[in-house]
Structure 1
Amino acid sequence: MTLAAALLFALVSPSAAQAVAAGPCQGHKIKTFRFSTGRVTVFKGAGFVCALTYAEKPGRARKMSVTLQARGHRAITRSGTFRRYAGPLSVRAAHRCVKVTGSVGDGSLKPRWIQC
């Protein structure tokens, strides 16, 4: 989904617009959170925060997830069985704190707040 389509989607459906699935994350990398089995990398650009959870050892399919929650909104999650990464996942969060979590197999990232 292009950024223009994502913005149009946001104008048409504000409640659903909090979560906009994107291609590779746009913007610049602002943070990487590491945990025992992987890492969550967070990007920011054009009023959105985007995140991906990467496996520390890619290749073998395993359960992975990435979750974002802009303060004042519901958490959204992308999860499933993947070989390399879960995501990308984006939320509209121009000037909001965003809670980030992720998991790969048995390992997980404790919730972290960014942009606060």
Structure 2
Amino acid sequence: MGSGGIRRRLALGAAVLAASGALAFTATATAQAASADGCAGREVRTLPFRTGVIHVYKRGDYVCAVTVARNAGSVQSMSVSVQARGNRPVVDKGRYKHLAGPVTVNAGHRCVWIRGAVGAYSRSSGWILC
């Protein structure tokens, strides 16, 4: 193999390496589009209450919510639900240390009702994102 063949192989190898690096960068950026709480999309509402906060995200027709406890660490009763108008709510309820959810629904262009609770305190949004 002459020096031209070696150069072509080195150039091909460099191109493959550059492409794989670009792909890894794109995959990392896509993964960062998901929140630290597990919901994809952009945060559209924050619903604070005494013992926690509900974070609401929207991506296309999907709405996602999580309830995060203000004082994480001890196991406590927590819940989050998302209900698209005309459907039943999707609920995550249990005893958690830090957060309940994520809960995602396909809302389309319908309003949603978000509820969340930590311990004895809760928050309800009413119909939003109409």
TM-score range relative to shorter protein: 0.7 to 0.9
Q: TM-score, normalized by length of structure 1?
A: 0.77
Task: Please say if 1:91 is aligned against 2:91.
Answer: no
> Higher relative contact order by CA 8 Å / sep ≥ 6: 1 or 2?
1
1:41 and 2:29 matched: no
RMSD: 1.2
Q: What is the total number of aligned residue pairs between the two structures?
A: 94
Task: Kindly state the Cα deviation for residue 58 of structure 1 after the two structures are TM-superposed.
Answer: 0.8
**Which residue pairs with 1:32 in the alignment?**
46
CA distance in 2, matches of 1:31, 1:111: 10
Larger radius of gyration: 2
Counting helix residues as a fraction of each chain, which structure ranks higher? Answer: 2
Residue of structure 2 aligned with 1:71, choices 59, 82, 85 = 85
Q: How many angstroms does 1:75 deviate by?
A: 1.2
Q: Partner residue of 2:75?
A: 61
Q: TM-score, normalised by structure 2?
A: 0.69
Q: Which runs of 5+ in 2 are unaligned?
A: 1-36
Gapped runs of 5+ residues in structure 1? 1-22
Identity %: 41
